[in-house]
A and B are shown apart, each in its own frame.
Chain A
C-alpha cells in the first residue's frame, strides 16, 4: 500500500499537511485546518486509514493541528473514532497531539476530543 502525502505551502492557514506512512505506520497531520469543504480534504485520509487497518499493523498518529474549524472538527473526530475502534480490536495504537506550551485553547479542544471519542491522546507540549 502507498503512502499518502498532502503538501501545503509553508504558512498556509487553511490546509494542514498530511503524511501517512504505510511502511512505518507513522502518520501526521500538521498545521491549521480551516476548510469549507472539509469532507473533500479528509476523504482520502479515511480511505487510506480504512485500508491500513486491514493490515493489523501498529499505528502512531501525531496530530500537530493548532486550529481546527467547525467543519474540520467533524472529520478529526471521525479519525479519532476510527483509531479508537482499531485500538479496541487489540492493535497497538498511539495517538499524540503536539501543542505549543501555553496554548490552553487547543489543550482544552484535545481534552474534549478525548472525552467524545473515548480515545486516549497524549498531549505533548513544546515551545515553538
Chain B
C-alpha cells in the first residue's frame, strides 16, 4: 500500500508476472538452510511434482541431493537450525529450461576460495566422460583418506552429462556470491 492508501499497481503486476513465471517454469524455488528436515520436504515435492519416468526422477533426485549437500557443506553462511545441526544457507531453483531441467544454486563463499573453485570447475568441464570417471576414482581415494574431494561437483557433471556453469560475484572484501547451474535433458 502506498502512503496515500492507493495500491501500487506496478507492484501487483510484478507479483502477477512473478507468480505466472513460478507456476509455468519453476518446479522448486527455495531459500534457506539445507538440513535434513527441509530436504525431506523438498524431496517429497520433487517426487510428486515432477511427472516423468522413475529413471529420470532418480536422476533429478540425485542432482537435488548433490546440489543441496554442496550448499549445506560449503556455504559461508552457516546457521544453527531447529534440528540442532549447523547447515549452510543458500538458494535452490529447479526449473524447466528449453526442454531441459535446470538446477541452480546460489550461496555465499569466501572470496579466498573462488580461485580454487574456478580451477576445479574448469578442469571438470575440460574432461570427457571417461576422464570424469577416472578423476572420480582418484577423488574416492581422497575421500577414503579423509581429505577434501570434489566428488559433489564431479557427480553433478556426470549425472547431468553437461558442463557446470559457475558465476562468481564479489560482495565485499571477504565474501562472494556463487551460482552453480547444470541442466539435465528431460528425455534421457
Q: Is this pair of chains taken from one and the same complex?
A: yes
Residues of A within 8 A of B (CB): 13-14, 34, 36, 66-67, 69-71, 73-74, 77-78, 100-103, 105, 108, 112, 115-116, 128
A102 to B187, CA, bound (A): 13
8 A Cβ contacts from B125-152 to A? 133, 136-137, 140-141, 143-144, 146, 149, 151-152
- Expressed in whole angstroms, the minimum distance between the Cβ of A37 and any Cβ of chain B is 10
A69 to B73, CA, bound (A): 13
A92 to B63, CA, bound (A): 37
Add 12 more A-B contacts to A70-B143, A77-B140, A112-B140 (CB < 8 A). A13-B39, A13-B61, A13-B65, A67-B62, A69-B69, A78-B144, A100-B58, A102-B55, A112-B133, A115-B137, A116-B141, A128-B54
- Expressed in whole angstroms, the minimum distance between the Cβ of A16 and any Cβ of chain B is 14
Indicate if B169 sits at the interface (CB-CB under 8 A). Answer: no
Interface of chain B: mostly helix, strand, loop or mixed = helix
Judging by beta carbons under 8 Å apart, are B137 and A105 in contact?
A: no
A105 to B152, CA, bound (A): 14
Interface string of B148-162 (1 = CB under 8 A from A): 010110000011000
- A103: which of B43, B55, B137 is its contact (CB, 8 Å)? B55
Q: Sorted from nearest, which 8 A-B pairs have the closest CB atoms?
A: A102-B55, A70-B151, A74-B143, A13-B43, A105-B159, A112-B137, A74-B144, A116-B140
A78 to B140, CA, bound (A): 11
B46 nearest CB neighbor, chain A only = A13
A13 to B144, CA, bound (A): 23
- Expressed in whole angstroms, the minimum distance between the Cβ of A70 and any Cβ of chain B is 5
B40 nearest CB neighbor, chain A only = A13
8 A Cβ contacts from B44-72 to A? 54-55, 58-59, 61-62, 65, 69
- Expressed in whole angstroms, the minimum distance between the Cβ of B81 and any Cβ of chain A is 12
A87 to B42, CA, bound (A): 42
A103 to B85, CA, bound (A): 32
Most central of A67, A78, A101 by chain B CB within 10 Å:
A67
